[in-house]
Amino acid sequence: QVQLVESGGGLVQAGDSLRLSCAASGRTFSSYAMGWFRQGTGKEREFVATISRSGGFTYYADSVKGRFTISRDNAKNTVYLQMNSLKPEDTAVYYCAAGPVVGAISSRNYDYWGQGTQVTVSS
């Protein structure tokens, strides 16, 4: 089993940057593909980015491509989401997730979830 804890959220202005971190417990972190999802108020949870077990493959939602970067450090059991050029529409609770399927964009392919971290972008 994997436990995930996100951090790094906050209140920023449009155009600013934030880096989210997701720390995982357990020795099997490197055996999981990792993903970031987000959920705005009154909206469904949506895919943001995913990274393969080794970090060699990444995939992004069109809405964040070119602005966000997902990465991982398997030695530190941590996955990151660097968010640049933030927009008000990026405001949401951001969740990290772990699962067995590389490249998955559906939340149903992820077995473990963190509690989320709030990102608020003011205009």
pLDDT at 100 over 80: yes
How far, in Å, CA of 93 to CA of 110, rounded? Answer: 17
Q: Residue 47: what pLDDT?
A: 98
pLDDT category at 94 given cuts 50, 70, 90 is very high
Q: Cα dihedral angle (44, 37, 14, 121), rounded to 10 degrees?
A: 60
Which residue from 4, 110, 105, 117 is spatially nearest to 50, judged by alpha carbons? 105
Q: Would you state the structure tokens that stand for residue 18, as one six-digit string?
A: 């934030």
CA within 13 Å, CB half, 47: 20
How far, in Å, CA of 84 to CA of 61, rounded? Answer: 15
How does pLDDT run across 75-86, given as a tens digit for each residue?
999 999 999 999
- CB 118 within 8 Å of CB 93: yes
How far, in Å, CA of 83 to CA of 20, rounded? Answer: 8
pLDDT at 27 over 80: no
Tell me the one-letter amino acid at 26. G
